[in-house]
Amino acid sequence: MGADHDGNLPRDATVADYLVARLAEWGVHRYYGYPGDGINGMTSALQRAQGRARFIQVRHEETAGFAAGAHVKYGGGPLGCVVVTSGPGAIHALNGLYDAKLDHQPVVALLGHTALPAEGGGYYQEVDLLSLYKDVASAFLAQLDDPSQARHLVDRACRTALARRTVTALVLPSDVQDLPAVPHPPHAHGYYHTSAVPSSEPTVPPEADVRRAAEVLRGGERVAMLVGQGALGAEDEVRRIADRLGAGVATALLGFTAVDHRQPWVTGAIGLLGSRPSWQLMRECDRLLIVGSQMPYSEFYPPEGQARAVQIDIDGTRMGLRYPTEVNLTGDAGPTLRALLDELGPGPGPTAWRATLADATGKWRASQREVAAQPAEPVNPQSLFTTLDDALPDDAMLAVDCGTATAWYARHVRVRPGMLASLSGTLLSMGGGMPYALAAKFAHPDRPVIALLGDGAMQMNGVNELITVAKYWREWPDPRFVVLVLNNRDLAFVSWEQRSGEGTPMFPDSQDLPDVAYHRWAEVLGLGGELVDSPDRVDGLWQRVLDADRPVVVNAVVDPAELMLPPHFTVEQARKTAAAVLRGDSDRAGIVRRGVPAALATYRPRRRGR
């Protein structure tokens, strides 16, 4: 096949060939998906494009959606891409795509569909995809019915996904994929000739607005910063402005890697799974600077009227949604913070406030390590995270699932510069940890990845996606892919929500999980397996698995009664938890053994002014 006069596209190229070539101009070279006849044209085109594009076959289309968003989060490329077949394939992908949408990751979904002549006839797998996807891909959704549309539809889908940091989708009838490509639509009425050059983004707000923000922040004696994923890539600027303002810094989980958590002025995670110092930071501050975060729990911000606030975000529509800010700066975090630093001028911020925060943070971290070292039955899950923190390689990548694993990660793992870490931050979907780990590993096959999962998430899709690990791991230059499974036979996070929120005991019919030998399943697949069923097996665990010559699954049999309490545990929550225990909770003995009275005393609400 000869190439056309524009480059690499063959003269007899199909629409699918052209889609792959045009998406490559937008930086798409990796496609997550699962095959089916609705996308046979696309998979054939990807086969012909080997070396320029890669199809990653996962076990389920939901994983493809998760992995496409995580591909961007871990720096695999500017755009994630999903390619799935018609009907059930497109339906399966929705959950992972909603994760990308809610966490503002640019993803293009390519959806196979019924051939044009059969549409409307009740054909096999015929689903109204334009209706089904109108929410998740509300920014841009279109069906490609004519080859001359391919160029402008790809360009609009990619441009919109990047500009609005969201999910877009193209519906591809199966017969249209195999029609001859039209890379150059006619110069005639009703045709478009679009560009594959990304649009520029706002960088720095107007100087007058930056000056107003500096005036608000300059007079603060107790400055708090909240940083989220919008601050990623601006780590140096965050540190410099925190030093200039004498601020303490709390982090949303999506922004965890924007700061060095070893610093005494970094109070750690905020929210239900956050730290006591972050709660104190917000309860006592007189100024608040929010950088790239939309953390939704309003009770974790300062009470209204307590602090004067400034917000920085690239999306002007999302300003002032969580706290009544005085100045809203629309722009990239890095250049906006640099402009703000110039306007603030030299000089360190209040040192007494930082000393107070450092003292609180140091005591909190010490107390959490003490809790992690307490005996449990059989293994204290928190001990696995403190020892992980001590053993993490500098270039580690972390993928965290939703549940108690998130809580222990937030409280014990001190992420530092050079590491990558993420999770389903807004959708809070179980089942994201393994797809995230896969995407991280494909983005950086020469770096170690560690997936932190509960047994519920492992049973949901982890056991299946471990097959994907077994399929691909031998091609990775660094084979380290560690999966920690917290095996407590309980959907523990929900059990604790029931106790503290409803005052009801753990409901075994709903919460009990089968006990699975996850390490044995790994061995069946040719991977490594580690059983941790006693505290002595924790010693040296991370060194053993990180020295392994293949991926390893750690089956950690942990205590289901391990207490998971928020940093602002209220009297009402304490009353309901105690009521659940008294009503005959199946974990009653374990909860009492793990020390409810001591825990409630530790988390007693702190009075203002003390």
Helix H, strand E, coil C: the string for 430-460 is CCCHHHHHHHHHHHCCCCCEEEEEEHHHHHH
Given its phi and psi angles, is residue 190 left (phi above 0), alpha (psi -120 to 50 degrees) or beta?
Answer: left
Q: What angle do CA 16, 19, 25 make, to 5 degrees?
A: 150
Same domain for 157 and 35, yes or no, is yes
Within a domain: 3: no
Band (pLDDT 50/70/90 cuts) for residue 191 is: confident
Average pLDDT rounded to a whole number, residues 35-51: 96
Task: Report how far residue 328's alpha carbon sits from residue 485's, in angstroms, rounded to the nearest whole number.
Answer: 42
Lowest mean pLDDT among 18-22, 388-392, 599-603: 599-603
How many Å apart are CA 452 and CA 27, to the nearest integer? Answer: 30
Indicate if 325 and 384 belong to the same structural domain: no
Q: How confident is the model at residue 590 (pLDDT cuts 50, 70, 90)?
A: low
The answer to the question of residue 317 being in a domain is: yes
Residue showing tokens 């503002």: 104
120 lies in the same domain as 28: yes
Is the confidence at residue 506, as pLDDT, over 80? no
Take residue 575 and report the two structure tokens written for it: 């009353």
Report residue 601's pLDDT band, with 50, 70 and 90 as the boundaries.
very low
Band (pLDDT 50/70/90 cuts) for residue 575 is low
Domain at 540, CATH number: 3.40.50.970
Instruction: State the DSSP H helix or E strand holding residue 601, giving kind and residue range, or none if neither.
Output: helix 596-602
Q: Say yes or no to pLDDT of 255 above 90.
A: yes
Q: Which amino acid is it at 493?
A: F
Residues 119 and 250 in one domain: no
Contact present, 127 and 57 (Cβ < 8 Å):
no
Backbone φ and ψ of 272, nearest 5°: -60, -30
Burial class (CB in 10 A: 0-12, 13-18, 19+), 131: exposed
What is residue 3's DSSP assignment? Answer: B
pLDDT at residue 173 in the model: 98
Q: Taking residues 418-432, what's their average pLDDT?
A: 96
How far is residue 583 from each of residues 39, 281, 499, measured CA to CA in Å?
A: 55, 37, 10
Q: Which helix (H) or strand (E) holds 242?
A: helix 235-245
- Percent of the chain having pLDDT more than 90? 77
Instruction: Specify whether 229 is located in the same domain as 336.
Output: yes
Domain of residue 335, CATH code: 3.40.50.1220
Residue ranges making up the domain that contains 166: 15-178
CA pair distance 248, 233, nearest whole angstrom: 19
Q: Provide the pLDDT confidence category of residue 562 given band limits of 50, 70 and 90.
A: confident
277 burial via Cβ count (<10 Å: 0-12, 13-18, 19+):
buried
Does residue 192 form part of some domain? no
The residue type at 417: P
User: In 10 A of CB 125, how many CB atoms?
Assistant: 18
Between residues 165 and 349, the one the model is more confident about: 165
In sequence order, what are the beta bridge partners of 555? 485, 531
Is the model's pLDDT at 557 over the cut of 90?
yes
Same domain? 338 vs 395: no
> Residue 501's pLDDT is what?
66
Q: Is the pLDDT of residue 535 over 60?
A: yes
Question: Quick count: other Cβ atoms within 10 Å of Cβ 495?
Answer: 27
pLDDT exceeds cutoff 70 at 558:
yes
pLDDT band with cut points at 50, 70 and 90 for residue 179: very high
Domain identity same for 137 and 29: yes
Summarize the confidence of residues 403-410 as an average pLDDT. Answer: 94
Are 560 and 491 contained in the same domain? yes
Residue 202 is assigned to a structural domain of this protein: no
Q: Is residue 574 part of a domain?
A: yes
Q: What mean pLDDT do residues 535-551 have?
A: 97
Q: Report yes or no on 65 lying in a domain.
A: yes
Give pLDDT, residue 570: 55
Mention every residue, 6+ apart, whose C-beta is less than 8 A from residue 401: 423, 424, 430, 431, 432, 433, 434, 451, 452, 453, 454, 457
Is the per-residue pLDDT at 600 higher than 50?
no
CA atoms within 13 A on the CB side of 435: 37
pLDDT, tens digit (0-9, with 9 covering 90-100), for 275-286: 999 999 999 999
Lowest mean pLDDT among 314-318, 529-533, 553-557, 573-577: 573-577
Average pLDDT of the chain? 90
Q: Tell me the one-letter amino acid at 252.
A: A
Q: Are residues 395 and 350 in the same domain?
A: no
The total of structural domains in the chain comes to: 3
- pLDDT number for residue 5: 39
Q: Which residues pair with 64 in a beta bridge?
A: none
In terms of domains, do 400 and 458 share one?
yes
Tell me the pLDDT band of 598, cut-offs 50, 70 and 90: very low
173 shares its domain with 285: no
Nearest alpha carbon to residue 63 among 424, 455, 434, 440: 434
Q: Which of 187-191, 245-249, 293-297, 346-350 has the highest mean pLDDT?
A: 245-249
Which residue, of 140, 159, 178, is where some domain finishes?
A: 178
Residue 425 lies in a domain: yes
Q: Return d(Cα 454, Cα 401) in angstroms, integer.
A: 7
Look at residue 199 and tell me if it is in a domain.
Answer: no
Sheet containing strand 327-330, strands side by side: 266-269, 248-251, 223-227, 287-291, 308-313, 327-330
Task: Evaluate if residue 434 carries a pLDDT over 80.
Answer: yes
pTM score = 0.92
Alpha-carbon dihedral sign for residues 478, 484, 485, 491: negative
Does the pLDDT at position 272 exceed 60?
yes
Mean of pLDDT values over 456-479: 97
Note the pLDDT tens digit of each residue in 116-144: 998 898 888 999 999 999 999 999 999 99
My answer on whether 258 and 385 are in the same domain is: no
